[in-house]
Amino acid sequence: QVQLVESGGGLVQPGGSLRLSCAASGSISGIYVMGWYRQAPGKQRELVAVISSGGSTNYADSVKGRFTISRDNAKKTVYLQMNSLKPEDTAVYYCKVALPAVQYWGQGTQVTVSS
C-alpha cells in the first residue's frame, strides 16, 4: 500500500508564491510518474504538472513559466513551486503517483489566492 502526504498549501496574495510537497510512503519503487492536479469549485480535476522518474516534465499551459515541478527519488517526494500566483489558481491541489498498474492520490491541500 502506498500513502501520499501533501503539505504546503495555504492562503497567499496574488503575485505571491507557495511550495507544495508530497511524500510517498510504502511499497513503491521502479519507474513511476509523480504529478500534481487541481480541482476548483464547480470544475473538473485538471492536470497541473507531471514529472517522470527520469525528470521529464509536462505542464498545463495555464501554469507554464510560473510553476516548477521537481522530485527527489531518494525521498520519494515531489514538489511544486508556484510563483506569480493568480486568483484563478485557487483550488484543492492533489498529488498523484502512477505506477504501471495502479495509481494513488493524496488527500489534497487547499491553495487560496486572494487579497
Q: pLDDT digit string (tens) for 75-112? A: 999 999 999 999 999 999 999 999 888 999 999 999 99
Distance, in Å, from the CA atom of 38 to the CA atom of 46, rounded to the nearest integer, reads 5
Distance, in Å, from the CA atom of 4 to the CA atom of 86, rounded to the nearest integer, reads 26
pLDDT digits (tens, 9 = 90+) for 16-30: 999 999 999 988 877
pLDDT at 1: 82
pLDDT at 12: 98
**61-69 CB contacts, 8 Å cutoff, 24+ apart:** 62/88, 63/89, 69/35, 69/36
